Structure 1
Amino acid sequence: MAQKILIIRFSSIGDIVLTTPVIRCLKTQLKEDVEIHFLTKSTFKTLLSSNPHISAIHTINKDVSEISQELKKENFDTVIDLHHNLRSAITKKIIGKKSFSFEKINIQKWIMVNFKIDKLPPVHIVDRYMKCVESLGVKNDGAGLDYFIPAEDEVDLSTLPSSFQNGFVGFVIGAKHNTKMMPIEKLISTCKSLKKPVVLLGGTEDMERAEVIVQELGESVYNACGKYHINQSASLVRQANKIISHDTGLMHIASAFNKDIVSIWGNTIPQFGMSPYMPSGNSKSTIIEVKDLGCRPCTKIGYSKCPKGHFKCMMDIDVGRIAAAVN
């Protein structure tokens, strides 16, 4: 009888993509037959729906109570908790089986944010995720992240303007919080400095900003924001020559495709353990940030606006460095 393992990660795009090495390594390294199940929010099911290592995806809208009976019936052998919050604790109690949880380092993050004292371990979150399964005899295979796009979601580049069919730069202009995004004038300056045409990537919330950029720069920029769902956006990321991105989900999807990534960091810092995660020995990632800024990081997540009012962490970003890394 197959061993059943449930992995828990409720949100969000980047965090879920960062769990994929755990999924793959469990499936490929456990000698006995194993079923990998994944529990997440229904909004994020698409991210994993084509992953061949997963046997079943269980989803909730808000509360685990919605599917508590379903989870009990599965009779899981082991639970791997990669979210480690109240909701996942309730899930583990419902299932009542052996479980492993990853270390969140929230105290170290709090010390860094509030006192600027760096007690953060120099360990990527993927490696902290992998630590959860070490006792099962599973090790990181060094193959990086996974992202699987269904064939029907692949974007045919011939549907883009002809000038984009000989290569383009994908620019992920959005992020969940304003303090993780460059202001519009910086986005425009960056696009102006690039030699290849630029596809602007993001959600419906980014459409208006993208349109301002298109009006300023014309046919050298294509607004894909809000026109494609996540798998289609991932397809454009995969087919781009290079990717520029803020600290956001599509950056991690770009890592899964082993792309050349130029990541731009505002109020958050790579030391939190969420920088682009590449296969072992690969260094296709360039970090752009304003170092030695006394107020940074001001939060481990993000704000709607700079609490100091000056927004130096993004206003002082060197566009020339971005262009040099991309061109």
Structure 2
Amino acid sequence: MTSPVNILILQFASIGNVVLTSPVVRCLKQQLPNAVIHYCTRPDYQPIILHNPYISERHYLDGNVIELIRQLRAQKFDYVIDLQNTFISRLIKTALGAPSYSVDKQSFRNWLYVRLKINALAEQHMVDRYLAMVQPLGIENDGRGLDYFIPYKDEVEFDWLPATHQHDYVAFAIGGQHTTRRLPLSRMIELCRKINYPIVLLGDKNDRKVGEEIVKVLGARQIYNSCGQFNLNQSASIIQRARLVFTHDTGLMHIAAAFRKKVYSFWGSSTPQLGFYPYKTPHVRLEATGLGCRPCSATGSDECPMKHFKCMNTLPFDFDVKELRMKKKNFE
């Protein structure tokens, strides 16, 4: 009998980054004989990995990295897969002493692109970069895209939504970690008017006030503000049942891609060229091209450095949602 191969995956960055690692988890488990997959992330991201059937053991960084290293050493890993490649992940990887593989973050090329607007980036999605990293282990991209697993208790029932939105709606993820990656309120309202269809707004409690403003202008018949009302897995369930998904560059965008939803994504201070656009799902990328100031940040910031915020204020809504054309509902 072949001995188990203990593999530790490290990723602490964000909801979206953890979702994007799911093909690596699946391919390692399915293609490497006797692989036992351990995953280490932050406690906030537990819902993303807790129900993934390809993961055998889960470990969490709660702030005490020394204690975490002590716990991980007891596992005697055969390989460490570092999908973040930051100081913390390098510290853990070095302390464990196992053979390791680390993602190429293209840090210098990112710096050239953001600071000097010189685009020397490889035209490669981050998922493909992750998978290329583990090729030496005999792993190939199976082409199946992203995974996201919702436990039964978090599957949203029809009657959890208002009658106007129970059976047919589009989802709009209005949140975003930084201001420069979100449409201003006036533009969100403009977008919802253009969609002219039942819309469920998704976001956390910090987005609820913005959602209330949209409802105030457009009415509860068209807009249901679910921000702060559902947990992450429940929001994922709402996305899974949506006809289409409109979203900023957020973790919910990648969750939508995991369910193969058509995604309309809006790009402000960052750009799809950085490699984080919707993966292996139909999508439309909407951005204000031709601005010399973009991208001003790879991760976003609290205000536009140029003070004009043209990337979002001038972003064109010139798309045609063919999937809704035959079922338009007038809310005026």
Matches within 5 A, 1:135-174: 135-174=136-175
Instruction: Say if 1:21 and 1:126, in contact at 8 Å, map to a contact too.
Output: yes
Residue 16 of structure 1 is matched in structure 2 by 18
Matches within 5 A, 1:220-231: 220-231=222-233
- Give, in whole Å, the separation in 1 of the partners of 2:292 and 2:158: 44
Instruction: Say if 1:193 and 1:323, in contact at 8 Å, map to a contact too.
Output: no
Cα distance per residue 1:244-302 (max 9 Å; x no partner):
00000000000000001000000100000000001xxx5x1100001111100011111
RMSD: 1.2
- Give, in whole Å, the separation in 2 of the partners of 1:322 and 1:222: 23
- Give, in whole Å, the separation in 1 of the partners of 2:297 and 2:12: 21
- Give, in whole Å, the separation in 1 of the partners of 2:19 and 2:320: 25
Cα distance per residue 1:194-245 (max 9 Å; x no partner):
1320000001110000000011111210001000010000000111000000
Within the alignment, does 1:316 sit opposite 2:317 as a pair? no
Matches within 5 A, 1:247-286: 247-278=249-280, 282=281, 284-286=282-284
Query: For structure 1, which segment, 46-55 or 67-76, has the greater mean C-alpha deviation from structure 2 after superposition?
Result: 67-76
Shift in Å, 1:326:
6.2
Other structure's SS at 2:264 match: strand
- Give, in whole Å, the separation in 2 of the partners of 1:254 and 1:326: 18
Aligned residue type for 2:296:
C
Query: For structure 1, which segment, 145-154 or 106-115, has the greater mean C-alpha deviation from structure 2 after superposition?
Result: 106-115
Matches within 5 A, 1:41-190: 41-190=42-191
CA distance 1:326–1:277, change in 2 (3 Å): farther
Other structure's SS at 2:265 match: strand
Instruction: Say if 1:268 and 1:299, in contact at 8 Å, map to a contact too.
Output: yes
Aligned residue type for 1:64:
V
- Give, in whole Å, the separation in 2 of the partners of 1:269 and 1:103: 19
Cα distance per residue 1:180-207 (max 9 Å; x no partner):
0000000011111113200000011100
Other structure's SS at 2:217 match: helix
Instruction: Say if 2:156 and 2:238, in contact at 8 Å, map to a contact too.
Output: yes
Displaced runs of 4 or more, over 3 A: 322-327
Task: Provide structure 2 residue ranges, at least 5 long, that are not aligned to the other structure.
Answer: 326-332
Instruction: Say if 1:190 and 1:322, in contact at 8 Å, map to a contact too.
Output: no
- Give, in whole Å, the separation in 1 of the partners of 2:40 and 2:65: 9
Shift in Å, 1:165:
2.2
Shift in Å, 1:322:
6.7
- Give, in whole Å, the separation in 2 of the partners of 1:186 and 1:220: 16
CA distance 1:320–1:157, change in 2 (3 Å): farther
Task: Provide structure 1 residue ranges, at least 5 long, that are not aligned to the other structure.
Answer: none
Shift in Å, 1:325:
7.8
Instruction: Say if 2:4 and 2:36, in contact at 8 Å, map to a contact too.
Output: yes
Residue 6 of structure 1 is matched in structure 2 by 8
Q: TM-score, normalised by structure 2?
A: 0.95
Q: TM-score, normalised by structure 1?
A: 0.96
- Give, in whole Å, the separation in 1 of the partners of 2:142 and 2:306: 43
Instruction: Say if 1:286 and 1:325, in contact at 8 Å, map to a contact too.
Output: no
Aligned residue type for 1:83:
Q
Shift in Å, 1:11:
2.2
- Give, in whole Å, the separation in 2 of the partners of 1:36 and 1:189: 46
Residue 236 of structure 1 is matched in structure 2 by 238
- Give, in whole Å, the separation in 1 of the partners of 2:62 and 2:255: 23
- Give, in whole Å, the separation in 2 of the partners of 1:220 and 1:56: 43
Shift in Å, 1:59:
0.2
- Give, in whole Å, the separation in 1 of the partners of 2:295 and 2:23: 28
Aligned residue type for 1:259:
K
Instruction: Say if 1:262 and 1:325, in contact at 8 Å, map to a contact too.
Output: no
Other structure's SS at 1:179 match: helix
Within the alignment, does 1:208 sit opposite 2:209 as a pair? yes
